[in-house]
Chain A
């Protein structure tokens, strides 16, 4: 019996409304009954990129864009007039070419008491890694009858800060590719007392970041490659669970409590290194010391060879002054020898580490980099006494390598971990699907993984899985 035969159309529409827009559209082909139901979905995504493809000539793209505009214009309004929209998302580049259609979309969403409004006018040609500030593509005018939004996303869309004053139910806010002033953020935090997540991506004009509202409900804070006038970050967020930062190293003064679960750091956009950066990094890491999961893009750490005072006797002091509580460390790394000191730094600083995940990434070479000591890379991970870190010996249970290719650097580190890891239970090798440019492919990586399986193991329980 058809499981849906007892359900009303309205119930099927409720179910469809939990699907992403593209999947909802695909339900049209299930049966005659389903053909038109998806058009009443409460989760609408008008995304130019559903229609406009990357790999076609510009003329074809223009035609595809017109098809997209036509699709929006033909969207039914009348018979579903009762339906409240859970979410409305509009993503298109160069919105000024079709300004009235954009305004029509916004009015449509507002008239349906939308809960989550997302406007993304960023251009796919903009490079996320450059520091250029793009002028906003659209200005969101003050709207009459703006419903009590729970979620607001504005990319490349400027707005009147007064807009935020009446949006007291906001829980999730995401700004991208626009100028934002600290005063606007402070107003937002003061007004929207339920705010749970705040994301800033490629924003600029921020003087600095200072967040000190009392009893901040904020659980997630993401700062992604923003341009600050001064790199000073002072945040007091007692309920924060997740903190992600990518950009330049600055002065961090972070007051989080034991609720912090995960932290992610990426200073990879730094193009020159600064010797004081080491101390700033130490300060940042110690304020994250309660995080259980820490993800670091290791290539940045090659910049900071003075993370601790170098003692002339050659004793290796490179570690955090006080240990981190991290249980799960994720390193995005190429395992290039220039990264060894950074990796060692973390292994030494995380004495309670239980899971280590290595996400293999292509190497980024810094020609000016000088390692803190002269060393022989082939002997770095051999078992000399300095490399016997507490976590490796006592607590490390699971090691994962994502994108395993079996390079010399990978196997050296894995040999070291297996040889010394007395608590090891699992080594999971997720084979890379990409060719390495030297004739290597998945079958070659598989052979190398089998070779790793044969390495001597300190733990009788350790077993190697190839995935």
Chain B
């Protein structure tokens, strides 16, 4: 996805307060986020452009618990002057959570179209898959295998080079 140029209103002069956007989670909690941080989300960017005049933007797909963390992520990534290495370390801590929460982050990042968060969280799940046998992967994620033994044999033969 190409990155969008920052809109002129994002440049806040010292005397003007930074523009805050209000968000409402699926369970009714309200959160405030700086406009610069909100622009990390393509979904929010589009909604801000439509200028819903200060009413909180409803996000029916995201719970309060997750939205709080997403706001934290976007705010951190909008901060000026953070060097690559510390940001990477911060990201690593951010995703150091239980499996179910990582999946919640993925869904939120997808819904809100935040590419940095989406890549980060999908990479975490890929790390969980890496190095495991198919059985181990199924157990870890509770994937129900509905292959019959013959079907599974057929798939293995189809891609035999990957299993040798």
**Least Cβ–Cβ distance between A464 and chain B, in angstroms:** 30
**Least Cβ–Cβ distance between A48 and chain B, in angstroms:** 11
A11 to B126, CA, bound (A): 12
Hey, which chain B residues are within 8 Å of A2, CB to CB?
Answer: 141-144
A18 to B147, CA, bound (A): 25
Q: A14-B122, A15-B122, A27-B129 are in contact. Are A4 and B143 (CB under 8 A)?
A: yes
Hey, which chain B residues are within 8 Å of A19, CB to CB?
Answer: 126, 129-130
B137 near A: Cβ within 8 Å? yes
B122 touches A50 (CB 8 A): no
Hey, which chain A residues are within 8 Å of B19, CB to CB?
Answer: none
Per-residue CB contact flags for chain B residues 100-117 toward chain A (1 = under 8 Å, else 0) read 100100110010000000
A25 touches B143 (CB 8 A): no
A31 touches B123 (CB 8 A): no
A10 to B103, CA, bound (A): 14
A81 near B: Cβ within 8 Å? no
A20 to B127, CA, bound (A): 11
A71 to B141, CA, bound (A): 30
Hey, which chain A residues are within 8 Å of B159, CB to CB?
Answer: 25-26, 28-29
B137 touches A30 (CB 8 A): yes
A22 touches B141 (CB 8 A): no
A31 touches B141 (CB 8 A): no
Question: Among A1, A18, A27, A51, which residue has its beta carbon within 8 angstroms of that of B123?
Answer: A18
Question: Among B122, B141, B151, B156, which residue has its beta carbon within 8 angstroms of that of A11?
Answer: B122
Q: What is the interface residue range for chain B against chain A?
A: 20 to 34
In chain A, positions 48-91 with a C-beta closer than 8 Å to chain B are 50-51, 67, 71
A385 near B: Cβ within 8 Å? no
Hey, which chain A residues are within 8 Å of B138, CB to CB?
Answer: 30-31
A15 to B110, CA, bound (A): 12
Hey, which chain A residues are within 8 Å of B130, CB to CB?
Answer: 19-20, 23
A28 to B152, CA, bound (A): 9
A8 to B110, CA, bound (A): 10
A30 touches B143 (CB 8 A): yes
Q: A3-B100, A18-B126, A19-B126 are in contact. Are A30 and B145 (CB under 8 A)?
A: yes
A35 near B: Cβ within 8 Å? yes
Closest to A52 in B: B161
A14 touches B134 (CB 8 A): no
B161 touches A50 (CB 8 A): yes
**Least Cβ–Cβ distance between A402 and chain B, in angstroms:** 21
B126 touches A6 (CB 8 A): no
Hey, which chain B residues are within 8 Å of A438, CB to CB?
Answer: none
B161 touches A51 (CB 8 A): yes
In chain B, positions 119-162 with a C-beta closer than 8 Å to chain A are 119, 122-123, 125-127, 129-130, 134, 137-138, 141-147, 151-152, 155-156, 158-159, 161-162
B106 touches A7 (CB 8 A): yes
A241 to B41, CA, bound (A): 33
Hey, which chain B residues are within 8 Å of A22, CB to CB?
Answer: 162
**Least Cβ–Cβ distance between B137 and chain A, in angstroms:** 6
Task: Please indicate which of the listed interface residues A4, A7, A20, A30 has the most CB atoms of chain B within 10 Å of its own CB.
Answer: A30
Question: Among A26, A32, A35, A71, which residue has its beta carbon within 8 angstroms of that of B163?
Answer: A26
A4 touches B141 (CB 8 A): yes
A7 to B141, CA, bound (A): 13
Hey, which chain A residues are within 8 Å of B143, CB to CB?
Answer: 2-4, 30-31, 34
B106 touches A29 (CB 8 A): no
Q: A3-B141, A4-B141 are in contact. Are A29 and B123 (CB under 8 A)?
A: no
B152 touches A23 (CB 8 A): no
Hey, which chain A residues are within 8 Å of B156, CB to CB?
Answer: 29
Closest to B125 in A: A15
Hey, which chain B residues are within 8 Å of A25, CB to CB?
Answer: 159, 161-162
Closest to B137 in A: A30
Q: A15-B129, A26-B134 are in contact. Are A6 and B142 (CB under 8 A)?
A: no
Question: Among A1, A17, A50, which residue has its beta carbon within 8 angstroms of that of B142?
Answer: A1
Task: Please indicate which of the listed interface residues B103, B118, B129, B151 has the most CB atoms of chain A within 10 Å of its own CB.
Answer: B129
Closest to A49 in B: B161
A6 to B134, CA, bound (A): 20
> Which 7 pairs from chain A and chain B are nearest by CB?
A18-B126, A25-B162, A3-B141, A15-B122, A14-B122, A18-B123, A25-B159
Interface, chain A (partner B; CB < 8 A): 1-4, 6-8, 11, 14-20, 22-23, 25-32, 34-35, 50-51, 67, 71
Q: List 6 A-B contacts (CB under 8 A).
A: A3-B99, A3-B103, A7-B106, A29-B134, A30-B134, A31-B143
Interface, chain B (partner A; CB < 8 A): 99-100, 103, 106-107, 110, 118-119, 122-123, 125-127, 129-130, 134, 137-138, 141-147, 151-152, 155-156, 158-159, 161-163
